[in-house]
Structure 1
Amino acid sequence: MEFSQALGLASLLLSTWLLFHLITYQAPPKNANGDGGYGRGRSIPSPPALPVVGHLHLLKKPLHRSLAALAARYGDGSGLLLLRFGARPVLFVSSQAVADECFTVHDVALADRPGLASRRLLTDDCPTIATTDYGPRWRHLRRIATVHALCSHRLAATSAARDAEARAMAGNLWRRSLASPGAAASAVVVSVKSAAYDFAANVIMSMVAGKRMAEEDVLRFKALTEAGLAAAGAANRQDFLPFLRLLDFGRVNRRLAGLAKERHDLGQRIVDEYRRRRLAADDSSSTPPRRTVIGDLLRQQESSPESYPDDVIRTVCLSLLQAGTDTSASMIEWAMALLLNNPYVIKKATAEIDSVVGMSRLLQESDLAGLPYLRCIITETLRLYPLAPHLVPHEASCDCVVAGRTVPRGTMVLVDVYSMQRDPRLWDDPEKFIPERFKGFKADESRWMMPFGMGRRKCPGEGLALRTVGMALGVMMQCFKWERVGKEKVDMSEGSGLTMPMAVPLVALCQPRMEMESMLKTLYE
């Protein structure tokens, strides 16, 4: 009975709220052609909107395809589309030229992140570098991450950690192929993203804290990251409809608050455990431990505690872990799916690795520079399946004029990288997987590709991501023969999320190459 009364009260409040907004709703102004728009200058084309919800009713999964279809139907060729997600204005950019303007001429004006309720709940007092608003704190966090983890010097210094994790991954796949110790190796079914996630998580954890993650910690962190990415998507309706947030349908607020606490506790536990290990090492050995991100930041904390408090150290560590694991694992999964559907590419890449590295030792990071075809595979994967199809959402911190159209302060900006990188006006056979298209690709042509973003908010982890993915794919192809499970091609359907997962997780048959078994046996010993 109490539940029924509460439900009736909630329904009454919701009906009253909706009625109020229907009465007070004012449609956006129309230009002479009937297109929706606002502000000074030429208006921005916009689909017909509904009161309260705006254009949310038009959104379908996957979001990047739904928005691209709206731009194709309602756009006027300007490369801009105005939408409303509830009361929030959203600018959808579908032109490479306009995107260039956004992140060059208006880079500072569009450097903020949307102040969404889910983001505040999820990040609590520990926002990631990617979601922190533009300003002094963001500059401080980004500088720390770059200097202590992501610059060329530090990446070169930590290459041994990635080599070690590649050996561990190859050894694990080899052991799985053995029915029992001493038995002949056979093909096994492998969840590609799980194997890739374990590799990427341990690569980052080794850089951050100088140790590997326990298997249960990897699984828990994966679940935390995936839940956070799902909540951070632009189509999270509770971020744009306050009454849903107020009533907390599905207990989303409670779930996000729980995730925030788990993130906080995990980050602090990593820092505290490193402190204890460092004290124990100082007491038992005179040999200094190898450099890690946490070690560097704790030393900085001793001399400048106000600039390096625990919340800053925690934020940097979690940012590196979250940004470097799911994205790299997704890249590896998409690349392997494309390879399985194009087996001639695997043969060509494997031949290149055999020629450069040989079969008596495992590929190392220093070998990647001599494997241009492998780099072409990675680049073509990023073209077809960019890490974030709309980049991380931006927000206008002040009024600005983009492509002759006024974009007011507070407008959320989504950039259709996915469609731009498949534009038939720029690419031959844009829907096909053709790594050879990047053979001899010049650096000044990279503006046509922006899977890591552009401008000051461009992802600083590009170098680390390319090294991590290159090592994983290189070792997988060098040591193992990969085939599809069944005769049908791999389902390349895209799922929904900030980092665009595969709709159907990839599983594949993995069997050690006969030529590599002698070397693989050394990893088992």
Structure 2
Amino acid sequence: MEFILIIASLLLSYILIQVVFGIGNTKNLPPPGPTRLPIIGNLHLLGNQPHRAITKLAEIHGPIMSLKLGQITTLVVSSSTAAKEVLQKQDVSFSGRYPPDAFNACNHAQHSVVWLPPSNDWRTLRRLLNSNIFSHKSLETNQHLRRQKIEELVAYCQKASLSNDYVDIGHAAFRTSLNLLSNTVFSKDLTEPYKDSGSDLKDAIGMCMVEGAKPNLVDFFPVFKMIDPQGIRRRMARHLETLLKAFENLIDERLKMGRIMQNDVLDVCLKFNQDNPNEINHTHIKSLVMDIFGGGTDTTSSTIEWAMAEVLRNPHIMTKAKEELEDVIGKGKIVKEEDVLRLPYLSCIIKETLRLHPPGAFLLPRRVEKQAQLNGYIISKGTQVLVNIWAIGRDPIVWDNPLEFKPERFLNSEVDVRGQDFDLLPFGSGR
């Protein structure tokens, strides 16, 4: 009897210690999340609008939430405070990449600055982009190209107006962005009829965006990677092969010239390759060009389309924008780049559009490189990380009347979209 009492006392002591220890360390655990089903985990909760479903789940389980999406453990961050921790304060631990399977087609993810984890190749490509392509000097040099393409877009809209025809804003903006980038990179239009492959290239870029955005079973169950059950990687490979072959032909054409001719992005890349042959090769250059087209076409056209939809839905905003343009620029005159700083209300419209309608609901998925702690929670190595910028832009704690399209909220505000203000992150931040 005495032995049983001793055992019972020890068990009771152990339970009390565990309870006390648990109360004092409630966060030394994985983040909370909804109950998981066998095999599929939480996939059944996503529905056909995952960003909305995940935002609602975060309202229940908190801004740092764990989901099991098939076989993939996923951390979802839905507040600006947690996003700053992931993207800035602990960006080394959270700087890995988790490329969707579609972008493994043609080994694109293995050479893309978008999908490479921080490494020597990644640092070289970033240095090339920041110092030689997106530098202030380079942007100034190519300003005339941007002006020319905007004038062509305005002329197209005017012609449609005179003939009482409609303008497909998304299509027109996509075409303008594509030609602008192709002139910046290759000094050529990709959509001009005199280019034999122009239409094919435009369609291939568009289809890459479509395939890359599709829900893919392989991204949730990597065990199916070999068979590619939906055929997404196979179709992506066909479109990428069309683009990469065209880029290779343009590189060969430029090399046959024997010297720098156009002072465009391709020349910059080839010159860098000549000076640093061990750092980048033609495969890197082709993937870099693909990244530029992927990042600057559909994102731009969708933002313009949303901005137009919102100002048409809010006539008082349209009136204020037109009044500002007429007062600052003059009625009927085309806005130049140097004019933008004198158009604060127009800038507010763009910021408000990016707040409510970011180009993507989530930033590109990241991967935890080593076990980390986030707000006290343990985040395991290999976890996929999704930053829900759609939810952050609509957070009622941060934004007054968050569902209202109200550009005035940015007047006299220092909040910008360049990645330093974590309440507004349409293009991400950090590494």
Q: Structure 2 length as normaliser, TM-score?
A: 0.86
- Residues 1:413 and 2:385 are matched in the alignment: yes
Q: Which residues of 2 match residues 20-59 of structure 1 at below 5 A?
A: 41-59=28-46
Q: Distance in 1 between matches of 2:239 and 2:374?
A: 37
Q: Which residues of 2 match residues 69-80 of structure 1 at below 5 A?
A: 69-73=56-60, 75=61, 77=62, 79-80=63-64
Q: Distance in 1 between matches of 2:324 and 2:407?
A: 14
Shift of residue 333 of structure 1? 0.8
Q: What code does the residue aligned with 2:242 have?
A: E
- Aligned pair partner of 2:317 in 330, 345, 363: 345
- Residues 1:133 and 2:123 are matched in the alignment: no
- Equivalent in the alignment of 1:201: 178
Shift of residue 122 of structure 1? 5.5
Q: Distance in 2 between matches of 1:437 and 1:218?
A: 42
- Equivalent in the alignment of 2:394: 422
Q: Distance in 2 between matches of 1:401 and 1:226?
A: 39
- Residues 1:101 and 2:85 are matched in the alignment: yes
Q: Which residues of 2 match residues 242-281 of structure 1 at below 5 A?
A: 242=222, 244-276=224-256, 278=257
Shift of residue 421 of structure 1? 1.2
Q: What code does the residue aligned with 1:90 have?
A: T
Q: What code does the residue aligned with 1:188 have?
A: D
Question: 1:125 and 1:81, CA in 2 relative to 1: closer, same or farther beyond 3 A?
Answer: closer
- Aligned pair partner of 1:403 in 375, 382, 390: 375
- Aligned pair partner of 1:451 in 421, 426, 429: 426
Shift of residue 247 of structure 1? 4.2
- Equivalent in the alignment of 2:278: 306
Classify the secondary structure of the residue corresponding to 1:238: helix
Q: Distance in 2 between matches of 1:453 and 1:125?
A: 19
Q: What code does the residue aligned with 1:257 have?
A: A
Which range is displaced more, 196-205 or 44-53?
44-53
Classify the secondary structure of the residue corresponding to 2:334: coil
Residues 149-178 of structure 1: CA distance to partner in whole angstroms, max 9, x if unpaired? Answer: 21222212211111111111112222334x
Q: Any unmatched runs of 5+ in structure 2?
A: 1-17, 20-25
Question: 1:127 and 1:221, CA in 2 relative to 1: closer, same or farther beyond 3 A?
Answer: farther
Classify the secondary structure of the residue corresponding to 2:421: helix
Residues 167-215 of structure 1: CA distance to partner in whole angstroms, max 9, x if unpaired? Answer: 11112222334xxxxxxx2432111111000111111111111222224
Q: Which residues of 2 match residues 45-444 of structure 1 at below 5 A?
A: 45-73=32-60, 75=61, 77=62, 79-121=63-105, 123-124=107-108, 127-177=111-161, 185-215=162-192, 219-233=199-213, 235-242=215-222, 244-276=224-256, 278=257, 289-359=261-331, 361-443=333-415
Q: What code does the residue aligned with 1:196 have?
A: A
For these two proteins, the number of residue pairs brought into alignment is 402
Answer yes or no: is the 8 Å Cα contact 1:103–1:454 preserved in 2: yes
Q: Distance in 2 between matches of 1:338 and 1:396?
A: 37
Residues 350-394 of structure 1: CA distance to partner in whole angstroms, max 9, x if unpaired? Answer: 221122222464221111111111101100101111122111111
Question: 1:391 and 1:219, CA in 2 relative to 1: closer, same or farther beyond 3 A?
Answer: farther
Classify the secondary structure of the residue corresponding to 1:307: coil
Q: Structure 1 length as normaliser, TM-score?
A: 0.71
Percent of aligned pairs with the same residue? 29
Shift of residue 82 of structure 1? 0.8
Shift of residue 222 of structure 1? 4.7
Classify the secondary structure of the residue corresponding to 1:168: helix
Following TM superposition, where does structure 1 have runs of at least 4 consecutive aligned residues deviating by more than 4 angstroms? 215-219
Shift of residue 438 of structure 1? 0.6
Question: 1:218 and 1:400, CA in 2 relative to 1: closer, same or farther beyond 3 A?
Answer: farther
Q: Distance in 2 between matches of 1:95 and 1:260?
A: 35
